[in-house]
């Protein structure tokens, strides 16, 4: 089983990550002072000193409807809009005389669509392609008869419902199977030295029609008729379950992804495949709102108390914090002399500190008046982290259910006081209460009572009050109940009988994915790696630009600029679709059964998902989020209504007028949420964050003033704070304050004051465990190959 290469290395070598310079990725020698100075200067230049305004971003399942449709097409495909229209008009004139499509009655429109589907069943590929283009023109909204973008979107949605009711999706599904199995097209693409957009014409037309139908029918509106609502539910059922002894549609798309990554079908339009796969999973399983509703319903079925809050809604009510002064933290603080030499320069140091905005959004008195400069160890960590990520990062771990490190006893009830402004209700797990009582009984009585949390005889009064407070905030998750049920089934398999598993869309999808799940995860991460902006081009890397490169390469500067924007936009859309797809799968599998989530997470970790995401964020995130890789006049549906103006260098450089790029900010938040999912309550994976020097990488992301992104960055920093050392905590008190104010509290968690000796031992143990788990993984791979 091949793993994706290390972030930044292009395409994977067979043995895992490589650092690109011939070294195996071990510790190596420390960088020379000259190299360190170069690294610092580059970091200062990349970060700059521009303050980021607060970004008015609303997180959701998708962007606006028009934006989601426009991202289906690359700018290179713009001439094909005219080709689709011509094919439709030529066919329409032979069937209907003296009328246009919008003038026909519904029955006449249905009759014409039935004729189109009949004409699809011909042997000639050229005639079949012309009819498919005519159907695509209908799905695109018959823009030649519309006067505005609103009309195009309206008729596109109307036509998609009409096409579905006439059985168009099933017909195109058969054609898609034919094109996937077309060995002649695959062998022709393999022989070509350079693959272009012309090699995937038939596939692009088929996938575009299917995507437009899924996206338009998926969209719910209050004005939808009863027939449309019924058609939507029927369509969802067809996509969710195996129809006519065929696999669910999502599995067919997953097989296309793995076939593309294996090199057997390099001409597949992978962006369209990924977009369609993401929307099919969202349509069949449900988006984030449906997930929350399913969670509430499942807790009610299991007899658990209702949720205290909706996480997404709480985050929406939070406002972004001002980041620390990055000139001090990332540049000048690393170059600062030792504290002993700063005694005569307190005035200048005070001026630097006054530039730092307060992260205290509740206007509370800051207890930490001083900010210490970064140490020499921190100075080297950023450079070492980059070298580590580019090295051989096959640090794996086997057991995904490692319990968190033991925590210390909380303060007594009288002294525990949370500010009013804290956004989250504190949570306490059952094992936290058990561990607290175990420590207290050992200290005051000298023996323990196992999992008994009710007997408090012999314990002092403050311990009684502490236990009462902990129980008031006790939280039982769905996963806890599922694990307990599995343990009971293992103990008494005969008496309890076989578990009845409901056939939900999520369960059916997981059962279908189970056999090839490692290959699916590796394929997605390989494509994500190739699309990441920090990746280095390699000759053997996956070519993800097959559906964006034109037949004839540009010969003018203007054409080159347009193609460059198109390629960057293409990669951004791929990152967006993969990040959203992986996050949706993890969340749905976790709700369906915790062990399904753990199995998928384990394979993502095995495929080096953690260092890949860290490598993605090891860039100027603010520049990535504010990038303007778009040409508004070429976006659908605008390009179908207005005459294309003459493009100039200024119009290409201008981009749009938005403050930020929605899809890039959406992708960053999804990747951070994905990283949180993989590392939460997993000590060995948390130690991977420490080993890969993720703290400075994540801290730079705080420069983006968006509350949701900052929250997930602070969560990742919180779980590793105790391992970063006292000096790091002392030098980053503003960040520590932000963690306290924004991240949910675990009452007896020692995240802010971890014992240095104990965390160092845990750090060493985790590194040894990673080495052992690599041996286990290699053994498992050999057994699977045999």
Q: Is the pLDDT of residue 776 over 70?
A: no
Q: Indicate whether 774 belongs to any domain.
A: no
User: Residue 111: what pLDDT?
Assistant: 94
Question: In percent, how much of the chain has pLDDT > 90?
Answer: 50
Query: Mean of the pLDDT values across residues 112-123?
Result: 92
Q: pLDDT tens for residues 152-196?
A: 999 999 999 999 999 999 999 999 999 998 888 888 888 887 888
User: Residue 572: what pLDDT?
Assistant: 96
**Cα(682)–Cα(716) distance, rounded to whole angstroms?**
12
Query: Which is more confidently placed, 408 or 123?
Result: 123
Q: Indicate whether 222 belongs to any domain.
A: no
Query: Mean of the pLDDT values across residues 590-601?
Result: 96
Cis peptide before 434 (omega within 30 of 0): no
Q: Is the pLDDT of residue 626 over 60?
A: yes
Q: Is the pLDDT of residue 334 over 60?
A: no
CB distance 121 to 616 below 8 Å: no
Closest CA to 330 of 382, 388, 252, 406: 382
Measured torsion, CA atoms of residues 20, 21, 22, 25, in degrees rounded to the nearest 10: -70
Q: Which of the residue ranges 393-402, 522-531, 754-763 has the most confident prediction, judged by mean pLDDT?
A: 522-531
Total domain count, the chain? 1
Instruction: Tell me the sheet residues that pair with 427.
Output: 746
Give 328-340 as a DSSP string.
IIIIIHHHPPPGG
Q: pLDDT tens for residues 227-253?
A: 999 999 999 999 998 766 678 999 999
User: Residue 421: what pLDDT?
Assistant: 65
Among 176-190, 380-394, 609-623, where is mean pLDDT lowest?
380-394
Question: In percent, how much of the chain has pLDDT > 70?
Answer: 75
Q: Indicate whether 314 belongs to any domain.
A: no
Q: Indicate whether 446 belongs to any domain.
A: yes
Sorting pLDDT into bands at 50, 70 and 90, what band is 783? very low
User: Residue 404: what pLDDT?
Assistant: 39
Q: Indicate whether 136 belongs to any domain.
A: no
**Cα(159)–Cα(255) distance, rounded to whole angstroms?**
29
Sorting pLDDT into bands at 50, 70 and 90, what band is 308? confident
**Cα(632)–Cα(625) distance, rounded to whole angstroms?**
18
The domain in which residue 458 lies consists of: 430-473
CA Rg, the chain, in Å?
Answer: 28
Sorting pLDDT into bands at 50, 70 and 90, what band is 87? very high
User: Residue 527: what pLDDT?
Assistant: 95
Phi then psi for residue 101, to 5 deg, are: -60, -45
Query: Mean of the pLDDT values across residues 23-30?
Result: 39
Q: Is the pLDDT of residue 300 over 50?
A: yes
Element at 209 (helix H, strand E)? helix 201-218
**Cα(216)–Cα(220) distance, rounded to whole angstroms?**
9
At which residue do the structure tokens 């439709």 appear? 88
User: Residue 501: what pLDDT?
Assistant: 87
User: Residue 552: what pLDDT?
Assistant: 86
Among 106-115, 328-337, 441-450, 733-742, where is mean pLDDT lowest?
328-337
Whole-structure pTM value: 0.81
Mean pLDDT, rounded, of the chain:
79
Give 575-603 as a DSSP string.
HHHHHHHHHHHHHHHHHH-HHHHHHHHHH
Among 406-410, 454-458, 588-592, 722-726, where is mean pLDDT lowest?
406-410
Q: pLDDT tens for residues 99-111?
A: 899 999 999 999 9
Q: Indicate whether 435 belongs to any domain.
A: yes
**Cα(335)–Cα(376) distance, rounded to whole angstroms?**
9
Query: Which is more confidently placed, 378 or 443?
Result: 443
Q: Which residues touch 701 (CB under 8 Å, ≥6 apart)?
A: 617, 621, 668, 672, 709, 713
Q: Is the pLDDT of residue 445 over 90?
A: no
User: Residue 390: what pLDDT?
Assistant: 53
Q: pLDDT tens for residues 206-225?
A: 999 999 999 999 999 999 99
Q: Indicate whether 611 belongs to any domain.
A: no
CB distance 508 to 248 below 8 Å: yes
**Cα(451)–Cα(432) distance, rounded to whole angstroms?**
11
Closest CA to 64 of 636, 625, 738, 584: 636
* Helix (H), strand (E), coil (C) string for 218-239: HCCCCCCCHHHHHHHHHHHHHH
Query: Which is more confidently placed, 671 or 763?
Result: 671
Among 39-48, 277-286, 553-562, where is mean pLDDT lowest?
39-48
Residue 592 buriedness (CB in 10 A; 0-12 / 13-18 / 19+): buried
Measured torsion, CA atoms of residues 664, 698, 531, 606, in degrees rounded to the nearest 10: -130
Query: Mean of the pLDDT values across residues 194-200?
Result: 88
Q: Indicate whether 384 belongs to any domain.
A: no
**Cα(55)–Cα(439) distance, rounded to whole angstroms?**
46
Q: Is the pLDDT of residue 369 over 70?
A: no
């Amino acid at each position: 089983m091949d793993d994706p290469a290390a972030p930044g290395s292009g395409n994977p070598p067979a043995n895992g990550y490589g650092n690109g310079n011939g070294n195996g990725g071990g510790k190596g020698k420390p960088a020379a002072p000259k190299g360190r100075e170069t690294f610092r200067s580059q970091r200062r230049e990349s970060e700059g000193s521009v303050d980021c305004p607060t970004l008015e971003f609303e997180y959701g399942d998708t962007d606006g409807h028009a934006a989601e449709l426009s991202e289906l097409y690359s700018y290179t495909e713009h001439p094909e809009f005219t080709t689709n229209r011509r094919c439709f008009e030529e066919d329409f004139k032979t069937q209907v005389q003296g009328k246009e499509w919008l003038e026909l009655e519904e029955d006449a429109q249905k009759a014409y669509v039935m004729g189109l589907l009949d004409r699809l069943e011909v042997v000639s590929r050229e005639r079949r392609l012309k009819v498919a283009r005519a159907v695509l023109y209908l799905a695109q909204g018959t823009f030649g008869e519309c006067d505005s973008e609103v009309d195009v979107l309206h008729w596109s949605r109307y036509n998609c419902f009409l096409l579905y009711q006439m059985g168009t999706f099933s017909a195109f599904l058969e054609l898609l199977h034919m094109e996937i199995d077309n060995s002649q097209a695959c062998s022709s693409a393999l022989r070509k030295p350079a693959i272009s957009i012309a090699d995937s014409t038939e596939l692009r037309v088929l996938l575009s029609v299917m995507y437009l139908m899924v996206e338009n029918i998926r969209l719910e509106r209050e004005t939808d008729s009863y027939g449309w609502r019924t058609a939507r539910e029927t369509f969802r059922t067809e996509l969710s379950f195996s129809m006519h002894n065929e696999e669910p549609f999502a599995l067919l798309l997953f097989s296309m992804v793995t076939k593309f990554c294996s090199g057997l079908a390099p001409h597949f339009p992978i962006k369209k495949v990924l977009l369609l796969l993401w929307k099919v999973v969202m349509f069949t399983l449900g988006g984030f709102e449906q997930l929350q509703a399913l969670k509430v319903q499942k807790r009610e079925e299991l007899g658990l108390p209702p949720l205290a809050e909706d996480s997404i809604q709480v985050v929406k009510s939070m406002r972004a914090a001002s980041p620390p002064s990055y000139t001090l933290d990332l540049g000048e603080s690393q170059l600062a002399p030792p504290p002993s030499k700063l005694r005569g320069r307190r005035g200048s140091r005070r001026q630097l500190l006054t530039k730092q905005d307060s992260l205290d959004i509740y206007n509370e008195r800051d207890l930490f008046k001083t900010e210490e400069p970064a140490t020499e160890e921190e100075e080297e960590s950023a450079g070492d982290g980059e070298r580590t990520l580019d090295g051989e990062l096959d640090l794996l771990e086997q057991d995904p259910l490692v319990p968190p490190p033991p925590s210390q006893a909380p303060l007594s009830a009288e002294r525990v006081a949370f500010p009013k402004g804290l956004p989250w209700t504190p949570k306490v797990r059952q094992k936290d209460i058990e561990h607290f009582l175990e420590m207290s009984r050992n200290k005051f009585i000298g023996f323990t009572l196992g999992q008994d949390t009710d007997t408090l005889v012999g314990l002092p009064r403050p311990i009684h009050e502490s236990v009462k407070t902990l129980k008031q905030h006790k939280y039982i998750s769905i996963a806890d109940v599922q694990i307990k049920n599995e343990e009971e089934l293992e103990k008494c398999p005969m008496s309890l009988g076989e578990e009845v598993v409901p056939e939900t869309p999520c369960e059916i999808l997981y059962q279908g994915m189970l056999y090839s799940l490692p290959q699916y995860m590796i394929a997605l991460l390989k494509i994500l790696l190739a699309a990441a902006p920090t990746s280095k081009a390699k000759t053997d890397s996956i070519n993800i630009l097959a559906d964006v490169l034109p037949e004839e390469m540009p010969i003018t500067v203007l054409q080159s600029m347009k193609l460059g924007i198109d390629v960057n936009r293409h990669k951004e859309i791929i990152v967006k679709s993969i990040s959203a797809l992986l996050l949706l799968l993890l969340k749905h599998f976790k709700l369906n059964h915790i062990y399904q989530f753990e199995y998928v997470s384990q394979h993502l970790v095995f495929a080096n998902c953690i260092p890949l995401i860290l490598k993605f964020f090891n860039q100027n995130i603010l520049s990535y989020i504010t990038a303007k890789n778009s040409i508004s006049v070429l976006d659908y549906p605008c390009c179908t209504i207005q005459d294309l103006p003459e493009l100039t260098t200024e119009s290409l450089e201008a981009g749009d007028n938005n403050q930020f790029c929605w899809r890039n900010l959406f992708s960053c938040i999804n990747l951070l949420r994905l990283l949180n999912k993989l590392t939460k309550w997993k000590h060995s994976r948390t130690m991977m964050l420490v080993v890969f020097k993720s703290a400075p990488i994540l801290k730079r992301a705080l420069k983006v003033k968006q509350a949701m992104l900052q929250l997930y960055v602070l969560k990742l920093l919180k779980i590793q704070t105790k391992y970063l050392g006292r000096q790091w905590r002392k030098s980053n008190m503003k960040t520590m304050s932000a963690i306290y104010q924004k991240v949910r509290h675990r009452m007896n968690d020692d995240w802010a004051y971890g014992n240095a000796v104990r965390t160092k031992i845990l750090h060493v143990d985790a590194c040894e465990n990673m080495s052992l788990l690599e041996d286990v993984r290699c053994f498992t791979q050999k057994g699977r190959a045999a």
